[in-house]
């Protein structure tokens, strides 16, 4: 039987929150872009989340921009390593899977696939350069020498010494003279996400809603504390978890779990968005500069 500690139950449902801001680490900026541009007011069309979209997602999520910056990095890595006399295999961009924020919530998918719909979600092709990296000197050419190894983010968010490898060279193109300035802004964005998640998990209303769902599941014959753990109800007799998946969705609908949690989380994020408007605005400025540079790289400018 799963833990019945209320805090753990809340954290388990939060464990399936899909967006965690790490995609922002693919972005880039000039070290002076945010400072020179000043603090921009949050754009109303970004700050106002669309139906079913949380405020921070509306601000931070940019699939097209993520793809541009990721692809530009791959191109820069390839060309830099070729100039150094090494092979580099370009990795194809794979977007993060769009998973339901609070677990399976589609009755049709539950009835047809059970929890098997999760199988393979978010899998990557692995490290395509594992074999290339066995060549003598490849690691130093890409990451930099030990004497000037480039650390993307230190505790302070500031790089204490420059790098001298292709990773560093690509970041100079996309991020400007000191890439750590942008990464510090990204770190601030990640911290805002983390604080939003913590405030959400600490809200007693969340625990009450999850408890209602758990009681509904118990009435249907399933002893489970959190939607985040429901996929573990798959058994040898029901490997796809069809029966518990159907019950899971029915109970979410019965207690209106998705909309109620979304309302609470949206309120929490909206407050943090206002409280951190300056930091978020600087990150937006930095992000736009990164995407512009990335598109220039991809267009051969």
The per-residue b/e assignment along 174-184, b for 16 or more CB within 10 angstroms, e otherwise, is bbbebbbbbbb
Over the stretch 27-61, which tens digit does the pLDDT of each residue have? 333 322 332 333 333 443 334 444 567 888 888 88
pTM: 0.73
- Residue 202 burial (CB count, 10 A): 12
CA distances (Å), 112 to each of 102, 230, 242, 256, 296, in order?
A: 19, 17, 8, 22, 45
**DSSP per residue over 102-151, as a string?**
TS---HHHHHHHGGGGGTTTT-----TTTTGGGSTTHHHHHH--GGGPPP
Q: Give the pLDDT confidence score for residue 150 in this predicted structure.
A: 58
Kindly report the backbone phi and psi dihedral angles of residue 34, in degrees, each rounded to the nearest multiple of 5, phi listed first.
-70, -40
Let me know: does 28 contact 290? Beta carbons within 8 Å. Answer: yes
What is the average pLDDT value for the chain, to the nearest integer? Answer: 78
Over the stretch 53-88, which tens digit does the pLDDT of each residue have? 788 888 888 899 999 999 999 999 999 999 999 999
- Mean pLDDT is lowest, of 25-29, 181-185, 196-200, 284-288, for 25-29
Over the stretch 114-127, which tens digit does the pLDDT of each residue have? 998 877 665 666 68
- Residue 140 burial (CB count, 10 A): 16
Which of the residue ranges 2-6, 50-54, 262-266 has the most confident prediction, judged by mean pLDDT? 262-266
Q: What distance in Å separates the CA atoms of residue 100 and residue 258, rounded to the nearest whole number?
A: 9
Cα angle 65, 32, 292; round to 5: 25
């Amino acid at each position: 039987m799963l833990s019945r500690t209320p805090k753990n139950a809340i954290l388990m449902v939060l464990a399936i929150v899909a967006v965690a801001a790490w995609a922002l680490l693919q972005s880039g900026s000039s070290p002076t872009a945010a400072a020179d541009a000043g603090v921009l007011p949050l754009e109303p069309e970004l700050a106002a989340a669309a139906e079913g979209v949380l405020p921070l997602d509306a601000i931070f999520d940019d699939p097209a921009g993520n793809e541009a910056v990721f692809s530009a990095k791959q191109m820069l890595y390839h060309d830099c390593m070729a100039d150094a006399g090494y092979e580099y295999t370009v990795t194809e961009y794979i977007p993060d899977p769009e998973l339901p924020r609070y677990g399976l919530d589609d009755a049709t998918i539950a009835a047809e696939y059970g929890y098997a719909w999760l199988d393979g979600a978010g899998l990557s092709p692995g490290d395509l350069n594992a074999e290339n990296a066995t060549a003598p000197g490849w690691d130093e050419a890409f990451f930099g020498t030990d004497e000037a190894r480039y650390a993307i983010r230190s505790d302070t968010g500031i790089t204490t010494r420059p790098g001298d490898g292709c990773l560093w060279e690509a970041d100079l193109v996309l991020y400007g003279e000191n890439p750590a300035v942008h990464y510090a802004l990204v770190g601030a964005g990640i911290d805002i996400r983390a604080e939003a998640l913590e405030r959400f998990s600490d809200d007693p209303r969340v625990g009450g809603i999850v408890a209602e769902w758990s009681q509904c599941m118990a009435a249907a014959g399933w002893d489970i504390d959190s939607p985040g753990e429901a996929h573990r109800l798959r058994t040898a007799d029901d490997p796809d978890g069809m029966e518990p998946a159907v019950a899971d969705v029915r109970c979410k609908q019965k207690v209106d779990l998705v909309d109620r949690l979304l309302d609470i989380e949206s309120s929490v994020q909206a407050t943090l968005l206002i409280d951190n408007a300056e930091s978020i605005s600087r990150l937006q400025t930095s992000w736009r500069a990164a995407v512009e540079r990335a598109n220039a790289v991809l267009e051969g400018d």
